[in-house]
Amino acid sequence: MRAWLALFSAIACEVTGTLALKLFGVHTPWLAAAVTGGTIILSYMLLSLAFRRIPVAVAFAVWEALGLALVTLLGATLLGEHLKAPQLLALLGLLLGARLLHLGTHTPASRSRPQPGGAV
């Protein structure tokens, strides 16, 4: 559970840093650099904690897919950027791909644990 909390916190940091580029970059580039740099460093530190319990392929896919989806949706909501149907479909595809990677890492309990007495 802590690994997933670290992963979702990493995503929040990534999204914050990315949006800071747009929000602060024009008038105060030094603030954009400071916020973005700090949040991206924190995001990678949290991502490394998530890697301890979550497979790299799953954690990275979720980090990228959710991060991209949130940045895109928040850009549309907060910044007035427009999304077209193909872009929304692409976001759905990213999220579906991350979910499929996650589902593919689970093995049935009977296969992942040795049977009593050494029987397979």
C-alpha 62/C-alpha 102 separation (Å) is: 8
Decide if 17 contacts 43 (C-beta within 8 A): yes
Global confidence as pTM: 0.80
Domain locations in the chain as residue ranges:
2-105
pLDDT above 80: residue 110: no
C-alpha 81/C-alpha 84 separation (Å) is: 10
Q: Is 52 helix (H, G, I), strand (E, B) or coil?
A: coil
Decide if 11 contacts 63 (C-beta within 8 A): yes
Environment class of 99 (CB within 10 Å of its CB; exposed 0-12, middle 13-18, buried 19+)? middle
C-alpha 98/C-alpha 37 separation (Å) is: 26
pLDDT at residue 98, as a whole number: 87
Q: What is the pLDDT of residues 48-98, one digit of tens each?
A: 999 999 999 899 989 999 999 999 999 999 999 999 999 999 999 988 988
pLDDT above 70: residue 20: yes
pLDDT above 90: residue 26: no
Q: What percent of the chain has pLDDT over 70?
A: 88
pLDDT at residue 12, as a whole number: 98
Q: Is 22 helix (H, G, I), strand (E, B) or coil?
A: helix
8 vs 102, which has greater pLDDT?
A: 8
pLDDT above 90: residue 109: no
